[in-house]
């Protein structure tokens, strides 16, 4: 497949999702949205550099179950989610609502997953049709969870469990996605990630709405 055609196909979900968010969320700034997408692409650089040097360590090159476990949970889960989470600190927190902040965090993951899909498609990776959508959803939901942690951290009520969960879910997905017999468990992981993101988002969103309503009443 032509390189430009591959890139175009991979960018379609990101473009459509961004358009839907802009049309449906009135308080979402187009500049903030574009900045979050840029962050998602930029974070690929440090991830690639760190993973390149780590791949030289024996634990990442050995062909055994322990090596696979370490690669999926540390190499993929911890490193990628940590850097995506860190990029969320560059979002203009004070100028954003909780909802728009989490959406931008979600888009950081979507942009990251989009680049990953381009690599999969160009390299001719196996099960590309499955990975094309599942990987994108997984990266987006995990980044959304990390964005909730960043927001709570900046509000001095850190919900570290959201970030830990993002790392674990990412690791679980990668661990089972490459399995021929248990690949379906990666789908369960994605469903849980989406449900957990919705649950965590609703809990904080409701509390922020109550605070805004009470402040308006006092005025």
DSSP class per residue in 24-61:
H-TT--HHHHHHHHHHHHHTHHHHHHHHHHHTTSHHHH
Do the Cβ atoms of 108 and 84 come closer than 8 Å? yes
Q: How far apart are CA 59 and CA 114, in angstroms?
A: 28
Do the Cβ atoms of 106 and 144 come closer than 8 Å? yes
Collapsed DSSP state (helix, strand, coil) of residue 167: helix
Q: How far apart are CA 39 and CA 104, in angstroms?
A: 10
Q: For the chain, 219 residues long, give each residue's pLDDT as a single digit of tens.
A: 577 887 888 899 999 999 999 999 988 999 999 999 999 999 999 999 998 888 887 766 767 777 788 888 988 899 999 999 999 999 999 899 999 999 999 999 999 999 988 888 877 666 666 677 888 999 999 999 999 999 999 998 899 999 999 999 999 998 888 777 888 888 999 999 999 999 999 988 887 764 554 444 444
Collapsed DSSP state (helix, strand, coil) of residue 92: coil
Nearest in space to 108 (alpha carbons), one of 70, 149, 68: 149
Report phi then psi at 44, rounded to 5.
-60, -35
- Give the pLDDT confidence score for residue 128 in this predicted structure: 67
Alpha-carbon dihedral sign for residues 121, 126, 131, 133: positive
- Give the pLDDT confidence score for residue 112 in this predicted structure: 96
Other Cβ atoms within 10 Å of 77 Cβ, number:
22
How many Cα neighbours within 13 Å face the side chain of 125?
A: 17
Q: How far apart are CA 121 and CA 128, in angstroms?
A: 7
């Amino acid at each position: 497949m032509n390189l430009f055609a591959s890139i175009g196909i991979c960018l379609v979900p990101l473009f459509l999702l961004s358009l839907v968010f802009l049309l449906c969320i009135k308080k979402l700034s187009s500049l903030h949205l574009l900045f979050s997408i840029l962050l998602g692409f930029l974070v690929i650089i440090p991830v690639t550099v760190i993973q390149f040097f780590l791949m030289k360590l024996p634990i990442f090159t050995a062909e055994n179950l322990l090596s696979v476990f370490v690669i999926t949970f540390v190499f993929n889960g911890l490193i990628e989610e940590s850097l995506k989470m860190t990029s969320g600190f560059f979002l203009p927190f004070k100028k954003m609502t909780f909802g728009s902040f989490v959406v931008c965090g979600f888009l950081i993951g979507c942009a990251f997953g989009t680049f990953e899909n381009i690599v999969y498609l160009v390299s001719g990776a196996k099960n590309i049709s499955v990975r094309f959508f599942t990987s994108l959803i997984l990266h987006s939901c995990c980044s959304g969870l990390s964005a909730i942690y960043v927001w709570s951290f900046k509000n001095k009520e850190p919900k570290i469990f959201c970030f830990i969960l993002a790392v674990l879910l990412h690791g679980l997905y990668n661990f089972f996605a490459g399995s021929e017999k248990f690949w379906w468990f990666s789908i369960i992981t994605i469903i849980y990630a989406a449900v957990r993101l919705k649950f965590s988002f609703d809990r904080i969103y409701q509390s922020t709405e109550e605070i805004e309503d009470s402040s308006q009443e006092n005025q």
